[in-house]
Amino acid sequence: MHSSAFHRASRVKLTKMGLSFIGSSIATAAVGLLLSQVFLPSIAKPTLIVCTSLFVLTVFYFVLRVIYDSWRIRYIAFFSEGTQGATFYETFFEHLIREAHGHSSNSKYEYVIFPWIADQGHGKAKLGSLRRINHSGMIVWADQGIEVKDLVAHKVHSVLLDSISSQEGLPQHFMTIRVNHEVGGKSAGEAAVKYLEPLYKEKSVDPCIMVLTGRTSDRYSQHPTKAFCEVMRIKWGNVQISNASFDLLSSRDEARTFVYTELKNLSNRQGAGKNRLPDLIFAASDDMALGAREALRQYQEEGRLRGLCEDYFTEENGGERVPQIIGYGGTLEMFDLLRSDEEIYLLATVNSKVEEQAKNAWRALTGLLEGVRYRVPEIEMELKPRGWAYHQTH
């Protein structure tokens, strides 16, 4: 199924190339007739018939070729909102490009995928402008503000990622792929409990947790955050969970600024009850986790971290511990930092298998376009703890 923009683009291409080719063909035929008239007048009429026949056949072949090429090339839009600079989404798009290239080499169609990224809060307007662009399908990572009816207007096959919870009511040329992020959030919560339980085994207070959600409208961050908090509350009924980071947009820079400001505010407060440094920070994206890591490292390098709530951060052997961070997403930078046991800030990350998510989305869309219903396999989340490379080899 092609959009009206697709057909308009095909007609423009046919018109431009056709006029150029027809003009050159007429000029060639005219030169041939002129030469035959000058040198061999007796064959002028047969020459005219031959030139005319060849011209008609060539134009017919050209028209068929343009139509075939326009039909063979399929442009796919990857639409998302507020994800500029977010490593997970950039990695997802890179894997989509690889899938498109590999699929094109073994298919009668050639697929070209392009990004269509909207600023936060401008998703509907950006999505509406996409209707003017030649595209045959969409892979959509939309916020809650985007409704199915906004996508139906494009009249192209579409795959929705984490956008709706059910297939009910979807048009036949739509498909939704939902990753079980609750499992990922639960894995992060279990890793946090495993770390904190020995520390609070004989203490009269419960742990203090900071949660970096990022965006209230992003289901990708909401599901793991909710599951993580449930695990923590089941283990410790009075656990302190600070979750006031709804406008970070999954950004590393904004997370660094937010965490650093929170640390600075803690330093300015009085009273032990209000002056608790979080034992652990859970970030709903690896970008925010890395931003929190930079804030902690900067605060420690300034010599200000140790002075925050030393009662909670003095171990029996006289050593010192810093807040631990658990990320979510599974980016290569996080894997590299967690590879060694020498990392002191990052505790773990949940690998949400971005490559497999991209592969599932691509196969689902091409299945819709080519008439093959693709069964999406379940993606199993994997926790990557600190020192994971060492543990894999021992």
232-252 mean pLDDT: 84
pLDDT at residue 65, as a whole number? 61
DSSP three-state, residue 226: helix
Kindly tell me if the per-residue pLDDT of 199 is higher than 50. Answer: yes
- Reported in sequence order, the residue ranges of the chain that DSSP labels E, i.e. its strands, are 73-81, 110-118, 137-141, 157-161, 174-177, 208-212, 240-242, 280-283, 324-329, 346-351, 382-385
**Intra-chain end-to-end CA distance of the chain, in Å:** 53
Q: What is the predicted pLDDT for the residue at 173? A: 86
- Residue 109, pLDDT score: 85
- pLDDT value, residue 342: 87
| pLDDT band at 1; cut points 50, 70, 90 | very low
* Beta carbons of 267 and 299 less than 8 angstroms apart: no
Residue 106, classified by CB atoms within 10 Å of its CB into exposed (0-12), middle (13-18) or buried (19+), is exposed
Instruction: Work out the pLDDT band at 377, boundaries 50, 70, 90.
Output: confident
Q: State yes or no: pLDDT of 306 exceeds 50.
A: yes
Per-residue model confidence (pLDDT) at position 231: 96
Pairing verdict, β 346-351 and 382-385: antiparallel
Tell me what pLDDT residue 260 has.
94
Q: Which of 245, 345, 340 is nearest to 300 (CA)?
A: 345
pLDDT one-digit tens code per residue, 44-88: 566 666 667 766 777 766 666 656 555 578 899 999 887 777 888
| Angstrom distance (rounded) from CA 352 to CA 343 | 21
Contact predicate 112/133, CB 8 Å: no
SS3 330: coil
| Mean pLDDT to the nearest integer, 141-152 | 78
SS3 273: coil
Round to whole Å and give the CA distance between 1 and 130. 16
pLDDT at site 7? 46
Calculate the average pLDDT of the chain. 80
Other Cβ atoms within 10 Å of 265 Cβ, number: 11
CB of 187 closer than 8 Å to CB of 141: no
Per-residue pLDDT at 392: 62
Better-predicted residue by pLDDT, 31 or 210: 210
pLDDT of residue 317: 40
Using the predicted structure, report yes or no on whether residue 27 has a pLDDT greater than 90: no
- How far apart CA 117 and CA 349 sit, in angstroms, is 26
Per-residue model confidence as pLDDT tens digits over 110-132: 899 999 988 877 888 888 899 88
CA distances from 385 to 246, 305, 323, 381 (A): 26, 24, 15, 13
Where does the pLDDT of residue 170 fall: very low under 50, low under 70, confident under 90, or very high at 90 and above? confident
Three-state SS across 155-203?
CCEEEEECCCCCCCCCCCCEEEECCCHHHHHHHHHHHHHHHHCCCCCCC
Most confident of 23-27, 198-202, 329-333, 370-374: 329-333
**Bridge-based pairing state of the strands 240-242 and 208-212:** parallel
Tokens for 247, please give them.
Answer: 């406008």
49 burial (CB, 10 Å; 0-12 / 13-18 / 19+) is exposed
Higher pLDDT, 41 or 99: 99
pLDDT at 179: 82
